[in-house]
Amino acid sequence: MGASQSSEEVATPMPTRTTILFFSAIDIPAELIEIILDMAQYWPSVRSERFLDVAVKSARREGSPYPTAEWCYLVSPRTESCDQGWAVSLSIVVRRCTYNGSWTWFEATIIRSDDDSTPWWVSGVERSLPVDLYREGLDRSAAERDAALSCEVRLPDLDRSRWHVTSNLTAVKTYKENVVHWTAEDPKDIDNDIPPGHRHARGIYGRDADFVNLMQSGDRVALLVMTKFPMWTNNIRQASITVHYSI
């Protein structure tokens, strides 16, 4: 997993279908058409984006895929954010301007549920309201909290459901855009520069392909804004997720 800049235009279902019909009309075999579209990464996509100014502090010391979507090829979370811009711990100060010392970060999870088991916080998110999962969750019953977690798709061999997306640069108060591309064929590569304690606490690392391959039509993707320990603040200006799929 890595961060990179992107300014690509994305295909939508109808232009993609038109392209398939065009190739079919000139007698190109269906198997070859699929190969051509995959090589060109000409996949339809669904995108959800939000612009906001929110500061998430530690509490402790839009759209659906095309109905016939079959395969997910690429998930691209994008964030523009920064932390509080300073640190006092020497172990953190020496990691200033790097990604591996920050305790402000983002995680992604796949939400799979029917109308009767939708997590309690989804309605607030759909109304474009930031939801404080920790504080508002404390007001919910244990059954409601457990039901919400049960809707998150888990990686079987790790029994965990949240993937690390990116961290903020450590102790840097300048907003930075991070764009991450997860593909269905990403290698399993864990960044050894990430301290073990951080790696476990900040979501699943190095298993990006598993996230993409677990997705099904009808799933939701939630981008979670995370922070830990007193005085750490995750300042967010905008965030989006784009999912590319086949039809």
Rg for the chain, CA atoms, rounded: 19
Query: pTM, whole model, 2 decimals?
Result: 0.74
Residues 109-120: pLDDT tens digits? Answer: 998 887 677 788
110/238 Cα distance (integer angstroms): 20
Which DSSP symbol is given to 127?
A: T
Give the C-alpha separation, 144 to 137, whole Å: 9
| pLDDT per residue as tens digits for the range 35-79 | 777 777 767 777 777 666 666 555 543 444 444 555 566 788 889
Closest CA to 241 of 225, 221, 226: 221
Residue 174 half-sphere exposure toward CB, CA atoms < 13 A: 3
Cβ neighbours of 197 (radius 10 Å): 8
H-type alpha helices, the chain: 13-25, 30-39, 90-93, 122-126, 133-138, 142-150, 196-201, 208-214
